[in-house]
Amino acid sequence: MPKIYMLDVTNRDGVQTSRIGLAKLEKTILNLFLNEMGVYQSEFGFPFTNHEVNYLNANLELVEMGVLKPIILSGWCRAVVQDIEASIRQTKVKHLNLSISVSDIMIKGKFQGRKNRQDVLDSAAEAIDYAKAHGIETVGLNAEDASRADMEYLIQFAKVAKDHGADRVRYCDTLGYDDPFTIYERVKQVAQEVQMPIEIHCHNDLGMAVGCSIAGAKGAIDAGVDAYINTCVNGVGERAGNADLVSTILAVRKSSGMAHMNLLDERIDLSKAWQLAQYAAYAFGLPISINQVGIGKNAFAHESGIHADGALKDASNYELYDYHELGLGDPILVDTGRKITTGEYSGIRGFRNVYDKLEIEFKDDREAQQVL
């Protein structure tokens, strides 16, 4: 039976979002949390970009050391040889997603006559060949703006991916244009025709990113292939955001039509959800809204007479899932006295003090030094 895997893109789509960002250290900690939570893969950055190189290589070293394990760290770049060449030259990245636009509106609007549909296919093929020939183990080919692309062309594009040995094709609803009904049909059709694992990448411009993600994944599953849903922690991401990680996991695990199907990668450990969400909120400097799915302050709050009475008699009257499942329920300690903070000029002692308080453990100073 095919499965649904989580592929988090907070450290790529999340950090490229307007007005927000993460320090390299914060990205590293996020990777550690994602690993603990059983997320299959973290798209951890742009390996062709000079200022990311130290962070990326340090995290790949953490993989070698077994600190970041079993999570897979993958880079993102354009489906052009120049980007892949720079990625391989500058970093030890072994997994890459290569992105190129596939809708006519983007092919015309972005390439301004320099590339037509055939050129896009050729460029994708050349990029995959180059990546595979230079030791990249997993290659995903990203169809940017897939939701606005001609269906026959999209299938042709996915076939190029498969024929050239790509491991997955990413269906990007770049503008959040799909609805759950259209994306189900479109992804299913691509999956049926091409029979290769599909990544689903949805944005929330119409408020449907999570719905579209699980519908697209179901389309892939119904066609007999694995699905990899792209998410961001706390639903950050370009414009209205990407599909929220925790909401998507809950939707696959708890919704009426999917709960019984047991589709989710069994390594997912939701009990880390609250801690991860809190850390991301702290690192991004973005408070979690009270009605945030699963981890907002009101997610398990009841005030009206009928609801409070019902919830007190039996929580399942008004709660779909238990707060313990998401790692809630423990009292929170708030420091009111001395405060040590960390920044780019901090030393190891202060750094370890801050992360001890976040209950993040390092084996020794050397390991901490790797991420500092």
| Dihedral sign for Cα atoms in the order 119, 125, 129, 131 | positive
Question: How does DSSP assign 144-162, residue by residue?
Answer: ETGGGS-HHHHHHHHHHHH
Encoded one letter per residue, x for contact with Zn ion by CB under 5 A and - for no contact, window 57-96 reads ----------------------------------------
Beta bridge partners of 220: none
Candidate ranges 9-17, 108-116, 179-187, 218-226; the one touching Zn ion (CB under 5 A)? 9-17
Nearer to Zn ion, 12 or 95 (CB): 12
Question: Total number of residues binding Zn ion (CB under 5 A)?
Answer: 1
Nearer to Zn ion, 13 or 178 (CB): 13
Nearer to Zn ion, 146 or 295 (CB): 146
Candidate ranges 10-18, 57-65, 161-169, 278-286; the one touching Zn ion (CB under 5 A)? 10-18
Candidate ranges 12-20, 42-50, 74-82, 245-253; the one touching Zn ion (CB under 5 A)? 12-20
State whether residue 139 is helix, strand or coil: strand
Whether the CB-CB separation of 145 and 174 falls below 8 Å is answered with: yes
Q: Closest distance between Zn ion and the C-beta of residue 245, in Å?
A: 14
Residue nearest to Zn ion (CB): 13
Candidate ranges 13-21, 26-34, 143-151, 340-348; the one touching Zn ion (CB under 5 A)? 13-21
Q: Closest distance between Zn ion and the C-beta of residue 309, in Å?
A: 44
Task: Match 């922690």 to its residue by tokens.
Answer: 233
Candidate ranges 7-15, 44-52, 295-303, 305-313; the one touching Zn ion (CB under 5 A)? 7-15
Whole-angstrom distance, CA of residue 284 vs CA of residue 233: 10
Neighbour-count burial for 258-267, b at 16+ CB within 10 Å, e otherwise: beeeebbbee
Whole-angstrom distance, CA of residue 73 vs CA of residue 75: 7
**Does residue 144 touch Zn ion according to CB under 5 A?**
no
Encoded one letter per residue, x for contact with Zn ion by CB under 5 A and - for no contact, window 272-301 reads ------------------------------
**Does residue 13 touch Zn ion according to CB under 5 A?**
yes
**Does residue 145 touch Zn ion according to CB under 5 A?**
no
Q: Tell me how far the alpha carbon of residue 236 is from its chain's centroid.
A: 10
Q: Closest distance between Zn ion and the C-beta of residue 239, in Å?
A: 9
Candidate ranges 11-19, 47-55, 151-159, 317-325; the one touching Zn ion (CB under 5 A)? 11-19
- H or E segment and range at residue 41: strand 41-45
N-terminal to C-terminal alpha carbon distance within the chain: 42
Nearer to Zn ion, 26 or 43 (CB): 43
CA dihedral 131, 137, 138, 141 (to 10 degrees): 10
Nearer to Zn ion, 13 or 167 (CB): 13
Plot region of 353 (φ>0 → left; ψ -120 to 50 → alpha; else → beta) = alpha
Given the rule CB under 5 A, which residues bind Zn ion? Answer: 13
